């Protein structure tokens, strides 16, 4: 399951209906969650950065990393790899895409098909096609 955040829904509606321009981010930042956020972009618990080597993964927003939408679905065209954990990240249950490396606006979010415990020495990775955003 994937969803658009309220922030992005509002930005798209304002763009389409003429009340405000929207600047598409040149870089997107992938985050991992131990509790998935809600549509308002709150309520989620992002993996802790304190002593764990966790950081959001910066991905250039282009058609190599995000090929053209097909049948209402947009998927990642390349693999995205997080830093190797230096301490437990807990059980990761969801992902999010932000417009900034910290804080920022949540744009898209979703649950993992299978949650995964990330221990020290593990490297979290999304293979090509693992992230799918469906517009329905």
* Phi (first) and psi of residue 119, to 5 degrees: -100, 170
Separation of alpha carbons 74 and 127, rounded Å: 14
Structural domain spans, the chain: 2-129
The predicted-structure confidence for 60-93, as pLDDT tens digits, reads as follows 999 999 999 988 899 999 999 999 999 999 999 9
- Note the pTM of the prediction, 2 decimals: 0.92
The predicted-structure confidence for 84-129, as pLDDT tens digits, reads as follows 999 999 999 999 999 999 999 999 999 999 999 999 999 999 999 9
């Amino acid at each position: 399951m994937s969803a658009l955040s309220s922030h992005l829904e509002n930005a798209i509606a304002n763009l389409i209906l003429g009340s405000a321009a929207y600047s598409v981010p040149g870089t997107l930042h992938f985050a991992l969650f131990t509790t998935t956020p809600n549509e308002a972009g709150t309520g989620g618990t992002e993996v802790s950065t304190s002593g764990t080597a966790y950081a959001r993964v910066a991905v250039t927003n282009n058609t190599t990393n995000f090929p053209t939408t097909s049948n209402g679905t947009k998927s990642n065209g390349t693999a995205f790899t997080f830093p190797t954990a230096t301490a437990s990240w807990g059980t990761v249950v969801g992902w999010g895409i932000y417009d900034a490396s910290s804080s920022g606006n949540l744009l898209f979010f979703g649950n993992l098909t299978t949650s995964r415990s990330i221990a020290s020495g593990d490297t979290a990775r999304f293979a090509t096609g693992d992230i799918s955003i469906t517009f329905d």
